[in-house]
Structure 1
Amino acid sequence: MTLLSRSPFAAALALGLAAPLTAQADALEQQLADLQDFQVIAHRGASGHAPEHTWPSYERALEMGADYLELDLHMSADGELVAIHDETLERTTDGEGQVKDHTLAELKALDAGSWFNQAHPERADDAFAGAELLTLDEVIERYGDDVRYYIETKSPERYPELQRALVETLEAEGLVASGSVVIQSFSRDSLQQVHALNADIPLVQLVWYSPAEDGEGLTEWTGVTPAPAEITDADFQAIADYAVGIGPNVTFEGEDVIDAGFVEQAHANGLLVHPYTINERDEMRRLLDWGVDGMFTNFPDRLSEVVE
Protein backbone atom coordinates (compact mmCIF):
# COMPACT_ATOMS: atom_id res chain seq x y z
CA MET A 1 0.00 0.00 0.00
CA THR A 2 1.39 3.43 -0.93
CA LEU A 3 1.16 6.43 1.37
CA LEU A 4 -1.38 8.01 -1.01
CA SER A 5 -3.74 5.05 -0.70
CA ARG A 6 -3.89 5.22 3.09
CA SER A 7 -6.55 7.12 5.00
CA PRO A 8 -5.73 10.80 5.71
CA PHE A 9 -5.27 9.89 9.39
CA ALA A 10 -2.87 7.06 8.59
CA ALA A 11 -0.91 9.25 6.21
CA ALA A 12 -0.64 12.02 8.77
CA LEU A 13 0.44 9.53 11.42
CA ALA A 14 3.09 8.09 9.14
CA LEU A 15 4.46 11.54 8.34
CA GLY A 16 4.41 12.43 12.03
CA LEU A 17 6.44 9.34 12.90
CA ALA A 18 8.85 9.92 10.04
CA ALA A 19 9.74 13.45 11.13
CA PRO A 20 11.47 12.57 14.43
CA LEU A 21 13.20 9.60 12.79
CA THR A 22 14.54 11.91 10.09
CA ALA A 23 15.69 14.40 12.71
CA GLN A 24 17.45 11.63 14.64
CA ALA A 25 19.20 10.38 11.51
CA ASP A 26 20.28 13.92 10.69
CA ALA A 27 21.68 14.44 14.20
CA LEU A 28 23.63 11.18 14.10
CA GLU A 29 24.95 11.93 10.63
CA GLN A 30 26.01 15.38 11.82
CA GLN A 31 27.89 13.86 14.76
CA LEU A 32 29.74 11.48 12.45
CA ALA A 33 30.51 14.37 10.11
CA ASP A 34 31.80 16.46 13.02
CA LEU A 35 34.04 13.59 14.10
CA GLN A 36 35.85 13.93 10.78
CA ASP A 37 37.10 17.30 12.06
CA PHE A 38 39.66 17.49 14.86
CA GLN A 39 38.15 16.90 18.32
CA VAL A 40 39.42 18.32 21.61
CA ILE A 41 38.54 15.67 24.20
CA ALA A 42 38.74 16.94 27.79
CA HIS A 43 40.23 14.03 29.74
CA ARG A 44 38.19 13.77 32.96
CA GLY A 45 37.33 17.40 32.26
CA ALA A 46 40.07 20.03 32.45
CA SER A 47 41.79 17.74 34.92
CA GLY A 48 45.11 19.54 34.67
CA HIS A 49 43.43 22.60 36.17
CA ALA A 50 40.89 21.18 38.62
CA PRO A 51 40.06 17.89 40.37
CA GLU A 52 39.03 15.33 37.78
CA HIS A 53 35.37 14.46 37.29
CA THR A 54 34.09 17.39 39.37
CA TRP A 55 32.03 20.42 38.37
CA PRO A 56 35.06 22.75 38.32
CA SER A 57 36.86 20.37 35.96
CA TYR A 58 33.92 20.02 33.59
CA GLU A 59 33.04 23.71 33.63
CA ARG A 60 36.60 24.76 32.86
CA ALA A 61 36.84 22.23 30.05
CA LEU A 62 33.80 23.71 28.34
CA GLU A 63 35.07 27.24 28.84
CA MET A 64 38.35 26.15 27.21
CA GLY A 65 36.69 24.95 24.03
CA ALA A 66 36.46 21.20 24.55
CA ASP A 67 34.38 19.34 21.97
CA TYR A 68 33.77 16.37 24.30
CA LEU A 69 33.75 15.85 28.05
CA GLU A 70 35.40 12.53 28.84
CA LEU A 71 33.79 10.56 31.68
CA ASP A 72 34.89 7.29 33.29
CA LEU A 73 32.03 5.34 34.83
CA HIS A 74 31.83 2.92 37.73
CA MET A 75 28.76 1.63 39.58
CA SER A 76 27.90 2.12 43.22
CA ALA A 77 26.70 -0.72 45.43
CA ASP A 78 23.13 0.43 44.80
CA GLY A 79 23.52 0.52 41.02
CA GLU A 80 24.16 4.21 40.32
CA LEU A 81 26.53 5.25 37.53
CA VAL A 82 29.27 7.37 39.10
CA ALA A 83 31.93 9.44 37.31
CA ILE A 84 35.30 8.36 38.71
CA HIS A 85 38.37 6.93 37.02
CA ASP A 86 39.79 4.47 39.53
CA GLU A 87 37.94 1.42 40.78
CA THR A 88 39.21 2.38 44.25
CA LEU A 89 38.69 5.59 46.19
CA GLU A 90 42.07 6.35 47.73
CA ARG A 91 43.70 8.43 44.99
CA THR A 92 41.00 11.02 44.35
CA THR A 93 38.90 11.06 47.54
CA ASP A 94 39.28 10.77 51.28
CA GLY A 95 37.54 7.39 51.17
CA GLU A 96 38.89 3.86 51.12
CA GLY A 97 38.07 0.66 49.26
CA GLN A 98 36.33 -0.08 46.00
CA VAL A 99 33.69 2.14 44.46
CA LYS A 100 31.36 -0.81 43.92
CA ASP A 101 31.29 -1.60 47.65
CA HIS A 102 29.82 1.80 48.62
CA THR A 103 26.31 3.14 48.24
CA LEU A 104 25.77 6.40 46.42
CA ALA A 105 25.04 8.14 49.72
CA GLU A 106 28.38 6.95 51.08
CA LEU A 107 30.19 8.08 47.94
CA LYS A 108 28.49 11.46 48.03
CA ALA A 109 29.79 12.04 51.56
CA LEU A 110 33.41 11.90 50.36
CA ASP A 111 35.70 14.83 49.59
CA ALA A 112 36.75 14.48 45.95
CA GLY A 113 38.58 17.81 45.66
CA SER A 114 41.09 18.37 48.45
CA TRP A 115 43.54 15.80 47.07
CA PHE A 116 44.08 18.04 44.03
CA ASN A 117 45.16 20.97 46.18
CA GLN A 118 47.66 18.76 47.94
CA ALA A 119 48.97 17.20 44.71
CA HIS A 120 49.07 20.46 42.74
CA PRO A 121 49.69 23.35 45.15
CA GLU A 122 50.54 25.65 42.24
CA ARG A 123 46.96 25.23 40.95
CA ALA A 124 45.21 24.84 44.31
CA ASP A 125 41.89 26.54 44.94
CA ASP A 126 40.08 26.54 48.28
CA ALA A 127 36.83 26.08 46.36
CA PHE A 128 37.93 22.60 45.29
CA ALA A 129 37.85 21.27 48.86
CA GLY A 130 34.74 19.21 49.51
CA ALA A 131 33.87 18.68 45.84
CA GLU A 132 31.46 15.75 45.46
CA LEU A 133 31.62 12.73 43.23
CA LEU A 134 29.04 13.12 40.47
CA THR A 135 26.58 10.70 38.95
CA LEU A 136 26.00 10.43 35.23
CA ASP A 137 22.41 11.53 35.86
CA GLU A 138 23.63 14.74 37.50
CA VAL A 139 25.97 15.55 34.64
CA ILE A 140 23.24 14.96 32.07
CA GLU A 141 20.75 16.99 34.11
CA ARG A 142 23.10 19.98 34.04
CA TYR A 143 24.27 19.83 30.44
CA GLY A 144 21.68 17.80 28.52
CA ASP A 145 22.39 17.67 24.81
CA ASP A 146 24.18 21.03 24.84
CA VAL A 147 27.38 19.05 25.48
CA ARG A 148 28.88 15.96 23.89
CA TYR A 149 30.09 13.15 26.13
CA TYR A 150 32.93 10.68 25.56
CA ILE A 151 32.15 7.92 28.05
CA GLU A 152 34.42 5.06 29.07
CA THR A 153 32.96 1.79 30.27
CA LYS A 154 34.94 -0.53 32.48
CA SER A 155 35.28 -4.29 32.36
CA PRO A 156 31.93 -6.05 32.02
CA GLU A 157 33.27 -8.72 34.37
CA ARG A 158 33.40 -6.07 37.09
CA TYR A 159 30.07 -4.44 36.24
CA PRO A 160 27.92 -6.78 34.15
CA GLU A 161 24.94 -4.40 34.46
CA LEU A 162 26.81 -1.24 33.45
CA GLN A 163 26.44 -1.47 29.68
CA ARG A 164 22.66 -1.88 29.72
CA ALA A 165 22.18 0.75 32.44
CA LEU A 166 24.28 3.22 30.47
CA VAL A 167 22.56 2.68 27.14
CA GLU A 168 19.12 2.85 28.71
CA THR A 169 20.01 6.13 30.40
CA LEU A 170 21.40 7.65 27.20
CA GLU A 171 18.36 6.56 25.21
CA ALA A 172 15.92 7.85 27.82
CA GLU A 173 17.64 11.25 27.85
CA GLY A 174 17.70 11.45 24.05
CA LEU A 175 21.48 11.65 23.90
CA VAL A 176 21.92 8.93 21.29
CA ALA A 177 19.28 10.44 19.04
CA SER A 178 20.83 13.91 19.38
CA GLY A 179 24.30 12.67 18.43
CA SER A 180 25.72 13.65 21.82
CA VAL A 181 27.72 10.62 22.92
CA VAL A 182 30.70 8.44 22.04
CA ILE A 183 31.46 5.34 24.11
CA GLN A 184 35.01 4.05 24.54
CA SER A 185 36.52 1.07 26.32
CA PHE A 186 39.61 -1.09 26.54
CA SER A 187 37.16 -4.00 26.71
CA ARG A 188 36.09 -5.24 23.29
CA ASP A 189 33.38 -7.28 25.02
CA SER A 190 31.97 -4.14 26.64
CA LEU A 191 31.86 -2.27 23.33
CA GLN A 192 30.26 -5.19 21.54
CA GLN A 193 27.60 -5.37 24.24
CA VAL A 194 26.88 -1.68 23.74
CA HIS A 195 26.78 -2.17 19.96
CA ALA A 196 24.25 -4.96 20.36
CA LEU A 197 22.08 -2.75 22.57
CA ASN A 198 22.19 0.27 20.25
CA ALA A 199 24.15 0.19 16.99
CA ASP A 200 23.74 3.96 16.49
CA ILE A 201 26.21 4.84 19.26
CA PRO A 202 29.70 5.62 17.89
CA LEU A 203 32.29 3.45 19.63
CA VAL A 204 36.05 3.81 20.05
CA GLN A 205 38.31 0.88 20.92
CA LEU A 206 41.03 1.87 23.36
CA VAL A 207 44.38 0.09 23.17
CA TRP A 208 47.49 0.14 25.36
CA TYR A 209 50.83 -0.93 23.94
CA SER A 210 53.76 -1.76 26.23
CA PRO A 211 56.83 -4.05 26.17
CA ALA A 212 56.10 -7.77 26.17
CA GLU A 213 57.03 -9.71 29.31
CA ASP A 214 59.78 -11.53 27.46
CA GLY A 215 61.26 -8.21 26.37
CA GLU A 216 60.69 -9.01 22.71
CA GLY A 217 58.72 -6.21 21.09
CA LEU A 218 55.39 -4.81 22.23
CA THR A 219 52.08 -6.28 23.28
CA GLU A 220 48.56 -4.89 23.54
CA TRP A 221 47.14 -5.00 27.07
CA THR A 222 43.93 -6.96 26.36
CA GLY A 223 44.97 -8.63 23.11
CA VAL A 224 42.69 -6.57 20.89
CA THR A 225 45.44 -6.21 18.28
CA PRO A 226 48.94 -7.56 17.72
CA ALA A 227 51.92 -5.29 18.31
CA PRO A 228 51.90 -2.19 16.08
CA ALA A 229 54.78 -3.57 14.00
CA GLU A 230 52.70 -6.67 13.24
CA ILE A 231 49.24 -5.14 12.90
CA THR A 232 47.43 -5.88 9.63
CA ASP A 233 44.53 -4.34 7.75
CA ALA A 234 42.44 -7.28 8.94
CA ASP A 235 43.16 -6.33 12.57
CA PHE A 236 41.94 -2.80 11.95
CA GLN A 237 38.94 -4.11 10.01
CA ALA A 238 37.97 -6.32 12.95
CA ILE A 239 37.69 -3.15 15.05
CA ALA A 240 35.90 -1.26 12.28
CA ASP A 241 33.16 -3.92 12.38
CA TYR A 242 31.82 -2.35 15.57
CA ALA A 243 33.73 0.90 16.16
CA VAL A 244 34.35 4.20 14.37
CA GLY A 245 37.77 4.75 15.88
CA ILE A 246 40.76 3.54 17.84
CA GLY A 247 42.32 5.27 20.86
CA PRO A 248 45.99 4.33 21.35
CA ASN A 249 48.68 5.42 23.75
CA VAL A 250 51.52 7.05 21.83
CA THR A 251 54.46 6.38 24.13
CA PHE A 252 55.50 4.06 26.92
CA GLU A 253 58.08 5.38 29.36
CA GLY A 254 59.14 8.02 26.88
CA GLU A 255 59.51 5.72 23.88
CA ASP A 256 57.11 5.74 20.92
CA VAL A 257 54.88 2.69 20.57
CA ILE A 258 53.03 3.92 17.46
CA ASP A 259 54.03 6.16 14.58
CA ALA A 260 52.53 8.09 11.69
CA GLY A 261 52.24 4.83 9.77
CA PHE A 262 49.87 3.45 12.41
CA VAL A 263 47.61 6.48 11.96
CA GLU A 264 47.74 6.17 8.18
CA GLN A 265 46.87 2.48 8.28
CA ALA A 266 43.97 3.05 10.68
CA HIS A 267 42.63 5.76 8.37
CA ALA A 268 42.98 3.47 5.36
CA ASN A 269 40.70 1.03 7.17
CA GLY A 270 38.06 3.62 7.98
CA LEU A 271 39.01 4.28 11.60
CA LEU A 272 39.44 7.60 13.38
CA VAL A 273 42.49 7.88 15.65
CA HIS A 274 42.15 9.58 19.07
CA PRO A 275 45.40 9.14 21.07
CA TYR A 276 45.64 9.71 24.82
CA THR A 277 46.67 11.53 27.04
CA ILE A 278 48.51 14.40 25.35
CA ASN A 279 49.43 17.35 27.55
CA GLU A 280 52.51 19.01 26.06
CA ARG A 281 52.26 21.41 23.13
CA ASP A 282 55.19 19.93 21.20
CA GLU A 283 53.62 16.48 21.37
CA MET A 284 50.27 17.92 20.30
CA ARG A 285 51.91 19.49 17.24
CA ARG A 286 53.74 16.27 16.40
CA LEU A 287 50.52 14.25 16.46
CA LEU A 288 48.71 16.86 14.41
CA ASP A 289 51.43 16.38 11.81
CA TRP A 290 50.68 12.65 11.92
CA GLY A 291 47.07 13.44 11.04
CA VAL A 292 45.26 12.25 14.17
CA ASP A 293 41.57 13.12 14.40
CA GLY A 294 41.47 14.27 18.02
CA MET A 295 43.32 13.97 21.30
CA PHE A 296 42.54 13.35 24.93
CA THR A 297 44.16 16.02 27.09
CA ASN A 298 44.10 17.25 30.67
CA PHE A 299 44.69 20.75 29.30
CA PRO A 300 42.02 21.52 26.69
CA ASP A 301 43.09 25.18 26.70
CA ARG A 302 46.55 24.22 25.42
CA LEU A 303 45.17 21.90 22.76
CA SER A 304 42.59 24.45 21.60
CA GLU A 305 45.36 27.03 21.20
CA VAL A 306 47.59 24.63 19.26
CA VAL A 307 44.77 23.59 16.94
CA GLU A 308 43.90 27.20 16.21
Structure 2
Amino acid sequence: MSGGNRAPFVVAHRGASGVRPEHTLAAYELALQEGAAGLECDIRLTRDGHLVCVHDRTVDRTSDGTGLVSEMSLDELKELNFGTAAEPSPVLTLSELITLVLDWRSQPSKLFIETKHPVRYGALVENKLLAELQRFGIATPASADHSRAVVMSFAATAVWRIRRAAPLLPTVLLGESSRYLGGSAATTVGATAVGPSVKTLREHPDLVDKAAAAGRATYCWTVDDAADVKLCADLGVSWIATNHPGRTKAVLDAV
Protein backbone atom coordinates (compact mmCIF):
# COMPACT_ATOMS: atom_id res chain seq x y z
CA MET A 1 0.00 0.00 0.00
CA SER A 2 1.24 3.50 -0.77
CA GLY A 3 0.47 5.98 2.01
CA GLY A 4 0.51 8.77 -0.55
CA ASN A 5 -2.04 7.34 -2.98
CA ARG A 6 -4.51 5.30 -0.94
CA ALA A 7 -6.35 5.53 2.36
CA PRO A 8 -5.69 6.00 5.13
CA PHE A 9 -4.64 9.52 4.29
CA VAL A 10 -2.49 11.44 6.74
CA VAL A 11 -3.83 14.54 8.46
CA ALA A 12 -1.34 16.71 10.35
CA HIS A 13 -2.87 17.29 13.80
CA ARG A 14 -2.41 21.01 14.53
CA GLY A 15 0.36 20.80 11.94
CA ALA A 16 3.51 18.76 12.48
CA SER A 17 2.95 19.47 16.16
CA GLY A 18 5.21 16.67 17.37
CA VAL A 19 8.25 18.72 16.39
CA ARG A 20 6.99 22.30 15.90
CA PRO A 21 4.74 24.42 18.15
CA GLU A 22 1.11 23.56 17.42
CA HIS A 23 -1.04 25.79 15.24
CA THR A 24 1.94 27.78 13.97
CA LEU A 25 2.73 28.48 10.34
CA ALA A 26 6.01 26.60 10.80
CA ALA A 27 4.15 23.47 11.96
CA TYR A 28 1.80 23.54 8.98
CA GLU A 29 4.52 24.29 6.45
CA LEU A 30 6.55 21.33 7.72
CA ALA A 31 3.48 19.08 7.50
CA LEU A 32 2.95 20.09 3.88
CA GLN A 33 6.64 19.53 3.12
CA GLU A 34 6.30 16.04 4.60
CA GLY A 35 3.41 15.32 2.25
CA ALA A 36 0.40 15.46 4.59
CA ALA A 37 -2.84 15.00 2.66
CA GLY A 38 -4.71 17.11 5.20
CA LEU A 39 -4.12 19.72 7.87
CA GLU A 40 -6.18 19.82 11.09
CA CYS A 41 -6.86 22.94 13.10
CA ASP A 42 -9.07 24.08 15.95
CA ILE A 43 -10.74 27.47 15.70
CA ARG A 44 -12.01 29.97 18.22
CA LEU A 45 -13.59 33.40 17.87
CA THR A 46 -11.87 36.49 19.24
CA ARG A 47 -13.70 39.31 21.00
CA ASP A 48 -13.71 41.34 17.79
CA GLY A 49 -14.96 38.52 15.58
CA HIS A 50 -11.86 36.94 14.05
CA LEU A 51 -11.31 33.18 13.75
CA VAL A 52 -7.96 32.07 15.15
CA CYS A 53 -6.29 28.67 15.35
CA VAL A 54 -6.12 27.95 19.08
CA HIS A 55 -7.16 24.71 20.76
CA ASP A 56 -7.65 25.78 24.38
CA ARG A 57 -10.09 28.27 25.83
CA THR A 58 -7.07 30.20 27.11
CA VAL A 59 -3.71 31.08 25.59
CA ASP A 60 -1.82 30.09 28.73
CA ARG A 61 -0.48 26.70 27.53
CA THR A 62 0.50 27.64 23.99
CA SER A 63 1.77 31.22 24.26
CA ASP A 64 3.77 33.50 26.52
CA GLY A 65 0.58 35.24 27.59
CA THR A 66 -2.50 34.51 29.65
CA GLY A 67 -6.23 34.99 29.25
CA LEU A 68 -9.33 33.76 27.44
CA VAL A 69 -9.24 33.81 23.65
CA SER A 70 -12.87 34.97 23.56
CA GLU A 71 -12.05 38.01 25.68
CA MET A 72 -9.08 39.14 23.59
CA SER A 73 -8.96 41.07 20.34
CA LEU A 74 -6.94 39.87 17.38
CA ASP A 75 -4.45 42.70 17.91
CA GLU A 76 -3.98 41.65 21.53
CA LEU A 77 -3.42 38.03 20.50
CA LYS A 78 -0.91 39.07 17.86
CA GLU A 79 1.24 40.63 20.58
CA LEU A 80 1.80 37.15 22.08
CA ASN A 81 4.34 34.55 21.00
CA PHE A 82 2.87 31.15 20.09
CA GLY A 83 6.21 29.84 18.85
CA THR A 84 9.54 29.46 20.61
CA ALA A 85 12.02 31.98 21.93
CA ALA A 86 14.32 31.16 19.01
CA GLU A 87 11.52 31.23 16.42
CA PRO A 88 8.68 33.51 17.57
CA SER A 89 5.29 33.05 15.95
CA PRO A 90 2.17 35.23 16.23
CA VAL A 91 -1.27 33.71 16.54
CA LEU A 92 -2.37 32.07 13.30
CA THR A 93 -5.68 33.17 11.82
CA LEU A 94 -7.88 30.78 9.89
CA SER A 95 -7.59 33.10 6.91
CA GLU A 96 -3.80 32.74 6.91
CA LEU A 97 -4.03 28.96 7.15
CA ILE A 98 -6.54 28.70 4.29
CA THR A 99 -4.27 30.89 2.18
CA LEU A 100 -1.32 28.58 2.89
CA VAL A 101 -3.33 25.49 1.90
CA LEU A 102 -4.71 26.97 -1.31
CA ASP A 103 -1.37 28.46 -2.37
CA TRP A 104 0.63 25.26 -1.76
CA ARG A 105 1.34 23.95 -5.25
CA SER A 106 3.21 20.69 -4.53
CA GLN A 107 0.03 18.76 -3.80
CA PRO A 108 -3.59 19.61 -2.99
CA SER A 109 -4.51 19.11 0.65
CA LYS A 110 -7.70 19.30 2.66
CA LEU A 111 -8.21 21.49 5.69
CA PHE A 112 -9.97 19.76 8.60
CA ILE A 113 -11.46 22.51 10.75
CA GLU A 114 -12.75 21.73 14.23
CA THR A 115 -15.16 24.15 15.88
CA LYS A 116 -14.93 24.14 19.68
CA HIS A 117 -18.02 23.98 21.90
CA PRO A 118 -19.43 25.01 24.27
CA VAL A 119 -18.32 28.61 23.72
CA ARG A 120 -19.88 31.95 24.55
CA TYR A 121 -20.46 32.77 20.89
CA GLY A 122 -22.42 29.59 20.11
CA ALA A 123 -23.62 29.29 16.50
CA LEU A 124 -21.75 32.46 15.52
CA VAL A 125 -18.60 30.34 15.22
CA GLU A 126 -20.11 28.22 12.43
CA ASN A 127 -21.64 31.29 10.78
CA LYS A 128 -18.27 33.05 10.72
CA LEU A 129 -16.57 29.88 9.46
CA LEU A 130 -18.98 29.48 6.57
CA ALA A 131 -18.55 33.14 5.66
CA GLU A 132 -14.77 32.69 5.61
CA LEU A 133 -14.97 29.57 3.45
CA GLN A 134 -17.33 31.42 1.11
CA ARG A 135 -14.87 34.30 0.87
CA PHE A 136 -12.21 31.87 -0.35
CA GLY A 137 -14.63 30.13 -2.70
CA ILE A 138 -14.52 26.76 -0.95
CA ALA A 139 -17.87 26.68 0.87
CA THR A 140 -19.78 24.98 -1.94
CA PRO A 141 -17.61 22.24 -3.47
CA ALA A 142 -18.76 20.29 -6.51
CA SER A 143 -18.72 17.18 -4.34
CA ALA A 144 -17.50 16.05 -0.93
CA ASP A 145 -14.56 14.25 -2.57
CA HIS A 146 -13.36 17.47 -4.19
CA SER A 147 -13.88 19.69 -1.15
CA ARG A 148 -10.83 21.51 0.18
CA ALA A 149 -12.45 21.93 3.61
CA VAL A 150 -13.96 19.51 6.11
CA VAL A 151 -15.78 20.78 9.21
CA MET A 152 -15.63 18.78 12.44
CA SER A 153 -16.99 19.08 15.96
CA PHE A 154 -17.71 17.09 19.09
CA ALA A 155 -20.99 19.02 19.21
CA ALA A 156 -23.71 17.38 17.13
CA THR A 157 -25.54 20.72 16.91
CA ALA A 158 -22.50 22.31 15.28
CA VAL A 159 -22.31 19.56 12.65
CA TRP A 160 -26.03 19.96 12.00
CA ARG A 161 -25.66 23.72 11.49
CA ILE A 162 -23.01 23.11 8.82
CA ARG A 163 -24.98 20.37 7.07
CA ARG A 164 -28.08 22.53 6.98
CA ALA A 165 -26.32 25.64 5.66
CA ALA A 166 -23.73 24.00 3.38
CA PRO A 167 -24.90 20.48 2.53
CA LEU A 168 -22.04 19.76 0.12
CA LEU A 169 -19.34 20.37 2.73
CA PRO A 170 -18.11 17.11 4.28
CA THR A 171 -18.51 16.92 8.06
CA VAL A 172 -17.12 14.77 10.85
CA LEU A 173 -18.94 14.06 14.11
CA LEU A 174 -16.14 13.58 16.63
CA GLY A 175 -16.50 11.57 19.81
CA GLU A 176 -15.05 9.00 22.17
CA SER A 177 -18.20 6.92 22.61
CA SER A 178 -18.72 4.13 20.08
CA ARG A 179 -22.41 4.15 20.93
CA TYR A 180 -22.64 7.85 20.12
CA LEU A 181 -20.73 7.53 16.84
CA GLY A 182 -22.30 4.29 15.71
CA GLY A 183 -25.86 5.11 16.72
CA SER A 184 -28.43 7.63 15.66
CA ALA A 185 -26.45 10.82 16.41
CA ALA A 186 -24.39 10.75 13.23
CA THR A 187 -27.49 9.91 11.20
CA THR A 188 -29.59 12.63 12.79
CA VAL A 189 -27.11 15.42 12.04
CA GLY A 190 -26.19 14.05 8.61
CA ALA A 191 -22.46 13.73 9.29
CA THR A 192 -20.53 12.34 6.33
CA ALA A 193 -17.90 10.80 8.63
CA VAL A 194 -17.41 9.75 12.23
CA GLY A 195 -14.32 10.58 14.27
CA PRO A 196 -13.38 8.17 17.04
CA SER A 197 -10.23 8.48 19.12
CA VAL A 198 -7.66 5.76 18.52
CA LYS A 199 -8.46 4.44 22.00
CA THR A 200 -12.13 4.03 21.05
CA LEU A 201 -11.11 2.40 17.77
CA ARG A 202 -8.93 -0.14 19.57
CA GLU A 203 -11.83 -1.06 21.82
CA HIS A 204 -14.45 -1.03 19.03
CA PRO A 205 -12.76 -1.88 15.71
CA ASP A 206 -16.16 -2.69 14.20
CA LEU A 207 -16.88 1.05 14.11
CA VAL A 208 -15.21 1.39 10.73
CA ASP A 209 -17.35 -1.26 9.06
CA LYS A 210 -20.50 0.09 10.70
CA ALA A 211 -19.70 3.58 9.45
CA ALA A 212 -18.99 2.28 5.94
CA ALA A 213 -22.27 0.37 5.90
CA ALA A 214 -24.03 3.66 6.64
CA GLY A 215 -22.11 5.42 3.86
CA ARG A 216 -19.73 7.25 6.19
CA ALA A 217 -15.98 7.61 6.23
CA THR A 218 -13.88 7.30 9.40
CA TYR A 219 -11.46 9.90 10.77
CA CYS A 220 -9.33 8.66 13.68
CA TRP A 221 -7.33 10.78 16.13
CA THR A 222 -4.58 11.09 17.37
CA VAL A 223 -2.53 8.28 15.83
CA ASP A 224 1.19 8.47 16.57
CA ASP A 225 2.16 4.88 17.46
CA ALA A 226 3.23 2.66 14.54
CA ALA A 227 1.03 -0.22 15.74
CA ASP A 228 -2.00 2.09 15.78
CA VAL A 229 -1.17 3.38 12.29
CA LYS A 230 -1.11 -0.22 11.03
CA LEU A 231 -4.37 -0.97 12.85
CA CYS A 232 -6.07 1.95 11.10
CA ALA A 233 -4.74 0.73 7.76
CA ASP A 234 -5.95 -2.82 8.42
CA LEU A 235 -9.42 -1.65 9.46
CA GLY A 236 -9.85 0.65 6.47
CA VAL A 237 -9.88 4.02 8.26
CA SER A 238 -10.14 6.85 5.73
CA TRP A 239 -8.15 9.59 7.48
CA ILE A 240 -5.76 9.47 10.43
CA ALA A 241 -4.76 12.55 12.40
CA THR A 242 -1.21 12.47 13.72
CA ASN A 243 1.29 14.80 15.36
CA HIS A 244 4.04 13.23 13.20
CA PRO A 245 2.83 13.27 9.58
CA GLY A 246 6.17 12.41 7.97
CA ARG A 247 6.82 9.47 10.28
CA THR A 248 3.24 8.23 9.93
CA LYS A 249 3.42 8.39 6.12
CA ALA A 250 6.62 6.32 6.24
CA VAL A 251 4.84 3.63 8.29
CA LEU A 252 1.95 3.54 5.80
CA ASP A 253 4.31 3.38 2.83
CA ALA A 254 5.88 0.27 4.40
CA VAL A 255 2.55 -1.49 5.01
TM-score relative to the length of structure 2: 0.86
Whether 1:137 aligns to 2:82 is no
Superposed CA RMSD? 2.3
Contact 1:145 1:175 (C-alpha < 8 Å) held by counterparts: no
How far does the alpha carbon of each residue in 1:224-258 deviate from its partner, in whole angstroms, 9 at most, with x for none? x44x8xx55xx27625x511100001227xxx763
Distance across 1 between alignment mates of 2:18 and 2:63: 17
TM-score relative to the length of structure 1: 0.72
Contact 2:198 2:228 (C-alpha < 8 Å) held by counterparts: no
Distance 1:169 1:44, change over 3 A: same
SS of the residue corresponding to residue 200 of structure 1 reads coil
Say how many residue pairs are matched: 240
| Letter in structure 2 aligned against 1:176 | A
SS of the residue corresponding to residue 182 of structure 1 reads strand
| Letter in structure 1 aligned against 2:91 | L
SS of the residue corresponding to residue 279 of structure 1 reads coil
Q: Map 1:126-205; keep pairs closer than 5 Å.
A: 126-127=86-87, 130-144=88-102, 146=104, 147-155=109-117, 157-160=119-122, 161-177=124-140, 179-205=147-173
Whether 1:265 aligns to 2:185 is no
| Letter in structure 2 aligned against 1:201 | L
Q: Map 1:65-84; keep pairs closer than 5 Å.
A: 65-84=35-54
Contact 1:54 1:134 (C-alpha < 8 Å) held by counterparts: yes
Contact 2:52 2:93 (C-alpha < 8 Å) held by counterparts: yes
Deviation, structure 1 residue 141: 2.9
> Residue in 2 aligned with 1:87?
57
SS of the residue corresponding to residue 295 of structure 1 reads strand
Distance across 2 between alignment mates of 1:268 and 1:148: 24
Which structure's CA Rg is the greater one? 1
> Residue in 2 aligned with 1:6?
none
Contact 1:145 1:180 (C-alpha < 8 Å) held by counterparts: no
Contact 1:156 1:190 (C-alpha < 8 Å) held by counterparts: no
- Point out the structure with the larger helix share: 1
Q: Map 1:1-308; keep pairs closer than 5 Å.
A: 37-114=7-84, 126-127=86-87, 130-144=88-102, 146=104, 147-155=109-117, 157-160=119-122, 161-177=124-140, 179-209=147-177, 225-226=179-180, 232=183, 235=184, 238=187, 242-251=190-199, 258-308=203-253
Gaps of 5+ in 2: 142-146
SS of the residue corresponding to residue 274 of structure 1 reads strand
Higher relative contact order (CA 8 A, sep 6+): 2
